[in-house]
Amino acid sequence: MTRRASPNASNATCARPPTSESRSTDPVTAEANAAGPATAARRAVPALATLLAAGLLLPTAGPARADAIRDQQQWALDAVNAPAAWETTRGGGVTVAVLDTGVDPTHPDLAGAIRQGRDMVGMGAGPGDEEWASHGTAMAGIIAGRGHGAGRGSGVMGVAPEAEILPVRVLLEDDDPERDTARETRSGALAEGIRWATDQGADVINLSLGDDSESAHPDPDEDAAVRYALSHGAVVVASAGNGGENGDPVSYPAGYPGVIAVAAVDRGGSPAEFSTERWYATLCAPGKDVIVADPDRDYYTGWGTSAAAAFVSGSVALLLAAHPDLTPAQVRDVLVETAAHPPPGGRDDALGSGMVDPAAAIAAAAGLTARPLAPAAGPYEGEFFGPGPSDGGDGAGRSAWLAPLSGAAGVVLLAAAAALMGGGTARIRERVRRLTAGPGRP
């Protein structure tokens, strides 16, 4: 059965490369892998809801050899310096909650990595259906993929390949027939999912999703859920938004206090043209030409700040595996202070403080003293948002800015997603290709 790839959540990248060259993608013309059948063209599927998962457009293309997957993936792992971090840890003992469209627990690249999760939506497609878990599986692979085959040399290797994934389904794929009903009846799924993941002991919560429509506003329940997670020691990571070519609208949950918001960069380290540039950008990570796994057992390249957020969540998992007593504020501060290739002045809205570097963060954190968790910051007030709760200790202070929000604060419900979803496919601008068929679905 063929599947559709789901677009990444409202994520952004760090620089704006020239549109003509940066958006062209040549088809792969390598030899077919006998492990699985070729798959028909797949049209882009933005993930459901006000929370739009950023887009992967997957047309027909020639398959590649299986070993080409790892070769083409390596640039992104090198960009975040993951191999150097692996000399210390590969993420063992850390749980990353992936709040998304679901995760395929039977994918060979995720064997042994998936904990029992929860479906907060309670309707829609299920395992084996076309409209199920494409986006979430892609994000889980970036975070904690373990590869497969001899020596695990095939398939996707994640940033933290020994971390565990806690899947929490909080939205439906765009093509799911029940998405409209879910919008109307399950508007609280994200806030509920954040709290549930926290109560299950998640160390990191990955939110490769977001609302970056012009009408986006903070949701008090979601904001409170983020504060709940932070106050219980969970690090919250979100994509910055894919609105860079649409006026850089503020995206949530990236804009909530305390969230590590991630912009996207291309292979050259330049901000992606689609990546939202806003005050809340904390770090950047690869978000173009990223290799992702899919429940259909094929591999695809795609773009979006969803992928960038997943790279940072994997990096946080490595840091916490090496230094498990760090608070969320300390994690944020050490990642900011050790980021590679910081922009002039140390920070800007396109790149945040620079490219996440878990190896440098692990080394720097060796000198930190664990501090007790401080109460989470209060909810947003008036028209200002801060960078999130700080423990008020001796953390480095590059993240202490405030920025105004445009428009009055209001509640965004999934039921209000019509305008966003109407523009969803417009965010899918870059042709993407299928790389190879992986091992067949059991």
* CA pseudo-torsion sign 155, 158, 161, 167: negative
Q: Which residues pair with 434 in a beta bridge?
A: 300
Distances (CA, A) of 101 to 79, 179, 252, 381: 27, 11, 17, 31
If pLDDT is split at 50, 70 and 90, which confidence band does 176 have? Answer: confident
Residue 437 lies in a domain: no
Residue 371 to residue 105: CA distance in whole angstroms: 36
- Whether the ω angle into residue 108 lies within 30 degrees of 0, i.e. cis, is no
Residue 199 to residue 208: CA distance in whole angstroms: 20
Residue 21 to residue 6: CA distance in whole angstroms: 24
Residue 313 designated active-site: no
Residue 2 lies in a domain: no
Q: Which residues pair with 302 in a beta bridge?
A: 290
If pLDDT is split at 50, 70 and 90, which confidence band does 127 have? Answer: confident
SS3 of 348-386:
ECCCECCECCHHHHHHHHCCCCCCCCCCCCCCCECCEEC
Residue 390 lies in a domain: no
Residue 217 lies in a domain: yes
Q: Indicate the pTM of the whole model.
A: 0.76
The alpha carbon of residue 315 and the mean position of all alpha carbons in its chain are separated, in whole angstroms, by 12
The residue from 100, 211, 294, 349 that is catalytic is 100
Asked if 41 and 60 touch (Cβ cutoff 8 Å), the reply is yes
Residue 15 lies in a domain: no
Q: Which of 115-124, 241-250, 408-417 comes out lowest in average pLDDT? A: 408-417
Q: For 179-184, what is the mean pLDDT?
A: 78
Residue 406 designated active-site: no
SS3 of 68-95:
HHHHHHHHHHHHCCHHHHCCCCCCCCCE
If pLDDT is split at 50, 70 and 90, which confidence band does 376 have? Answer: low
Q: Which of 117-131, 320-334, 346-360 comes out lowest in average pLDDT? A: 117-131
Which region, left, alpha or beta, applies to residue 397 given φ > 0 means left and ψ of -120 to 50 means alpha? alpha
DSSP labels, 127-168: TTSTTSSHHHHHHHHHHH-EEESGGG-EEEE-SSTTSEEEEE
The residue from 107, 135, 217, 323 that is catalytic is 135
Tell me what percent of the residues of the chain surpass a pLDDT of 90. Answer: 57
Amino acid letter at 97? A
pLDDT score at 185:
77
Give tens-digit pLDDT for 103-123: 999 999 999 999 999 999 988
Residue 434 lies in a domain: no
Residue 52 or 240, more confident: 240
Domain that holds residue 149: 28-33+48-368+396-427
Asked if 113 and 144 touch (Cβ cutoff 8 Å), the reply is yes
Residue 36 to residue 278: CA distance in whole angstroms: 42
Considering 45-49, 181-185, 280-284, the range whose residues carry the highest mean pLDDT is 280-284
Q: For 340-351, what is the mean pLDDT?
A: 97
Q: In total, how many domains does the chain have?
A: 1
pLDDT score at 38:
28
If pLDDT is split at 50, 70 and 90, which confidence band does 67 have? Answer: low
Burial readout 198-210 (b: 16 or more C-beta within 10 A, e: otherwise): bebebbbbbbbbb
Q: Diameter of the chain by CA atoms?
A: 59
Distances (CA, A) of 47 to 80, 116, 123, 177, 306: 26, 22, 15, 12, 11
Residue 411 or 388, more confident: 388
pLDDT score at 203:
99
Query: For the chain, how are helix, strand and coil distributed in percent, rounded to 5?
Result: 25, 15, 55
301: closest CA among 72, 9, 109?
A: 72
Residue 39 lies in a domain: no
The residue from 10, 134, 208, 306 that is catalytic is 306
Considering 13-22, 209-218, 322-331, the range whose residues carry the highest mean pLDDT is 322-331
DSSP labels, 292-359: EE-TTSEEEEE--HHHHHHHHHHHHHHHHHH-TT--HHHHHHHHHHT-BSPPTTS-BTTTBT-B--HH
Query: With 70 as the cut, is the pLDDT of residue 316 above it?
Result: yes
Considering 29-33, 180-184, 271-275, the range whose residues carry the highest mean pLDDT is 271-275
Domain with 91 in it: what CATH number? 3.40.50.200
Phi, psi angles (nearest 5°) of residue 118: -150, 145
pLDDT score at 420:
26
Q: For 176-187, what is the mean pLDDT?
A: 80
Residue 160 to residue 140: CA distance in whole angstroms: 10
276: closest CA among 290, 264, 289, 288?
A: 264
Would you state the structure tokens that stand for residue 415, as one six-digit string? 């039921």
pLDDT score at 259:
98
Query: With 90 as the cut, is the pLDDT of residue 393 above it?
Result: no
Residue 67 designated active-site: no
Asked if 96 and 160 touch (Cβ cutoff 8 Å), the reply is yes
Residue 435 lies in a domain: no
